[in-house]
Amino acid sequence: MITFSDFVGHEEAKLALILNAIDIHCGGVVFIGEKGSGKSTLARLFKDLIPEDTPFIELPLNLTEDRLLGSIDIEKTIKFNQRIFQPGILSKANGGVIYIDDINLLPLETATLVFEAQERGEILIEREGFTLRQPVRFIVIASMNPEEGNISPHLLDRFGMGVIWQGLKDKLQRIEVIKKVAFGGLQPNIPSKYSALRLKEKISLARLCLENIVIPSAIKEYISQLCLAKNISGHRGDIYLTYAARAYAAYCEHNEVSKEHVDKVAPLVLTHRQRMLQEMEQKEDSHKSPYKNPPGNQEREQNNPDSGEDSKSGAGAVQEKTHKTEENDGGDDHHHWVESNPKEEIFEIGTTFKIKRMVFKKDRIDRNTSGRRTKTRVKDRGGKYIKSKFKRNNDIAIDATIRACAPFQSLRGRKDRLLIYEEDLRFKQRQRKMSHLVIFVVDGSGSMAAQKRMIETKGAILSLLMDCYQKRDQVSLVVFRKEKAELVLPPTRSIEFSLKKLKDMPVGGKTPLSSGLLEAYKLIKRVARKSPETRFILLLITDGRANQTILEMPVWEEIERVVGLFNDLPFTDFIVIDTENKKGYMKTDLALKIALLLRASYYTVENIKSEFITELVQIHRRENFKDQVYWGGK
């Protein structure tokens, strides 16, 4: 069996755990790094450093609030005719350690309760008129893979230490890992066992002499200057750095904290706070003026001195030529259209803005989900208690049950205890917020280059991405252009990954609209098969000038067949934004035809401004769109 001493490499992470084992005031540690690199393994080996009777509890991601904080034990309360409190996980972790694997996937409400209890040193429980305060002391150790989503900055700041984790790059170290993992459990490793015992004794000795460590005034001043120089906001950095330096001095068997002790532990305490600050500054910069002059555009402008108004005229000429071709071809069903703007371009991202609050109609589906967007019913005991119901579950509503049985107490011959029969039982209906999957199906053909409409579209998509990141929504991007459609952005919550894909999205070529819809349909089916309770919003941005098919058939016949596939998709809403220039004489209103087929809300190009695109998602109600089409956002 592998021990803490057997773990190969990652000395900074080991030191962070050792310091937390010495002093609980060090504030815990979070490991941030790639998957499969040993974060969880090392965190669980922390048990080797603490006394055997110290609680070490792993927090499940689907934990309910009652299970976390505690609740009234219904059976014992009824049996003994007095309120009996059943302790939660936080009470059981008192004096010990809570480990959270993939903390970035833990619901925000649960994480907030954990850190509030840790910071206040107590938990406050209020259940059905029952109030209880319990003192608690514990440290939080967590791990996360940033590729699966980030953690809120205010939660990240609650950790005393953070280690940016990277996989081992040294070949000899990787070979050593193979040896210990493959053969370490086959026979006892006597040297490592004694090494672990010696380390544990050293930590115990450091814990005993911790209060005798002297922190000179000059060191306190040095710590404050260091945090100011690193632009660390708030005071947690100063406080945790002081505790960490004192613990390290005790570990080194020194009686006084020195500058060397501070410098040794400063990266553990300040690195994740500096990274958090840099990410916030980057988001603020991108919110103000993201990618005003991308390198690719600068090169194209230098190589093409005729760009600008002339290129707009060229795009308009191609668009006009396309109109003439439609007339000559004799209608919508012909698919041999002229390719519009075959030249490929990459447009910059338009101005971003703050998204207004999105409101969606609640449904009556019970889900096991989390998020920050739309309220939904939940199957488990998590969420807010909103009303009682007859349908049985493991969450009894005491107030409703008492009200149900109260009128019959005299008939049942009550003397002292409340007489509750099975038919009196009522159960809690809870709700909490859920996330959505917003799928942008974007026309990337040459016609989108006209009047640089793609710039505004990109700005709207990026703004929505930022809002969805805050609300824990997922966003996906399908682009159709040239001969086919492509899923350029799989469902993600990563703003960094989304921003890169959005920036590099090119424009040019034909318009395979049916291929774009089919790609979105396949994505919805895949996600719904894995998570049947997911809610989708399909937002189609196009002028409707489809001129490329998947099969050898008329364009609109193929589009109608693809649209027919969406009829069996539950929890899916549709929005169509028409990018066609309605001020010209040649209007086709082909996007309107698609909206009618999808039974989607329809909006014209005048409303394609970034602030309106995201507003569409707020006001959209599919059930309100049955027998009419909304024009111009009215």
Nearest 5°: the CA angle 486, 490, 496 is 115
Q: What gap in Å lies between CA 555 and CA 365, rounded to an integer? A: 38
Which residue range is the domain that position 419 belongs to? Answer: 377-433
Q: Is residue 372 part of a domain?
A: no
Q: Is residue 450 part of a domain?
A: no
Residues 559, 484 share a domain: yes
How confident is the model at residue 262, as a pLDDT? Answer: 94
How confident is the model at residue 190, as a pLDDT? Answer: 53
Weakest-pLDDT range from 210-219, 370-379, 439-448, 558-567: 370-379
Cβ-contact 12, 124 below 8 angstroms: no
pLDDT tens for each residue of 51-89: 888 899 999 887 777 788 887 776 676 667 677 778 889
Q: Is residue 370 part of a domain?
A: no
Q: What gap in Å lies between CA 503 and CA 499, rounded to an integer? A: 6
The residue-averaged pLDDT of 116-141 equals: 82
How confident is the model at residue 438, as a pLDDT? Answer: 86
Q: How confident is the model at residue 265 (pLDDT cuts 50, 70, 90)?
A: very high
The residue-averaged pLDDT of 561-585 equals: 81
How confident is the model at residue 352, as a pLDDT? Answer: 55
How confident is the model at residue 304, as a pLDDT? Answer: 41
The CATH number of the domain holding residue 11 is 3.40.50.300
How confident is the model at residue 622, as a pLDDT? Answer: 40
Q: Is residue 513 part of a domain?
A: yes
Last residue of a domain, one of 238, 264, 288: 288
Q: How confident is the model at residue 138 (pLDDT cuts 50, 70, 90)?
A: very high
- Cα Rg of the chain (Å, integer): 30
User: Is the per-residue pLDDT at 186 higher than 70?
Assistant: no
Task: From residue 445, give the alpha-carbon distance in Å to each of 54, 124, 306, 600.
Answer: 63, 58, 21, 22
Cβ-contact 446, 315 below 8 angstroms: yes
Phi then psi dihedrals of residue 610, to 5 deg: -55, -40
Residues 601, 517 share a domain: yes
Cβ-contact 379, 366 below 8 angstroms: yes
Task: Output the pTM of the full model.
Answer: 0.55
Q: How confident is the model at residue 347 (pLDDT cuts 50, 70, 90)?
A: low
pLDDT tens for each residue of 308-330: 333 333 333 333 333 333 333 33
Residues 154, 7 share a domain: yes
Phi then psi dihedrals of residue 396, to 5 deg: -75, 135
Residues 258, 302 share a domain: no
Give CA torsion, residues 586, 591, 595, 601, to 10 deg: -90
Residues 320, 302 share a domain: yes
User: Is the per-residue pLDDT at 562 higher than 80?
Assistant: yes
User: Is the per-residue pLDDT at 264 higher than 90?
Assistant: yes
At 492 the three-state DSSP class reads: strand
How confident is the model at residue 452, as a pLDDT? Answer: 67
Last residue of a domain, one of 153, 187, 221: 187
Q: Is residue 368 part of a domain?
A: no
The residue-averaged pLDDT of 349-360 equals: 56
Instruction: Give the closest residue to 168 by CA, choosing from 9, 12, 3, 35.
Output: 9
Residues 165, 120 share a domain: yes
Q: Is residue 453 part of a domain?
A: no
Residues 126, 7 share a domain: yes
Average per-residue pLDDT for the chain: 75
Residues 301, 281 share a domain: no
Residues 325, 239 share a domain: no
How confident is the model at residue 320, as a pLDDT? Answer: 39
How confident is the model at residue 242, as a pLDDT? Answer: 94
User: Is the per-residue pLDDT at 614 higher than 50?
Assistant: no
At 214 the three-state DSSP class reads: strand
Q: Is residue 107 part of a domain?
A: yes
Cβ-contact 486, 465 below 8 angstroms: no
User: Is the per-residue pLDDT at 156 higher than 50?
Assistant: yes
Considering its fold, how many domains does the chain have in total?
4
How confident is the model at residue 359, as a pLDDT? Answer: 58
Q: What gap in Å lies between CA 265 and CA 70, rounded to an integer? A: 36
Q: How confident is the model at residue 246 (pLDDT cuts 50, 70, 90)?
A: very high
Q: What gap in Å lies between CA 167 and CA 174, rounded to an integer? A: 9
pLDDT tens for each residue of 420-439: 888 888 888 788 777 788 88
Residues 410, 299 share a domain: no
The residue-averaged pLDDT of 340-356 equals: 57
Last residue of a domain, one of 256, 288, 320: 288
The residue-averaged pLDDT of 99-119 equals: 87
Residue type, 409: Q
The CATH number of the domain holding residue 538 is 3.40.50.410
How confident is the model at residue 295, as a pLDDT? Answer: 38
pLDDT tens for each residue of 517-531: 999 999 999 888 888
The CATH number of the domain holding residue 223 is 1.10.8.80
Joined tokens for residue 257: 């904290």
Higher pLDDT, 280 or 36: 36
How confident is the model at residue 546, as a pLDDT? Answer: 84
Residues 416, 545 share a domain: no
Q: Is residue 331 part of a domain?
A: yes
Residue type, 546: A
The residue-averaged pLDDT of 40-45 equals: 88
Select, from the ranges 96-110, 119-133, 277-291, the one with the highest average predicted confidence (pLDDT): 96-110
Residues 281, 305 share a domain: no
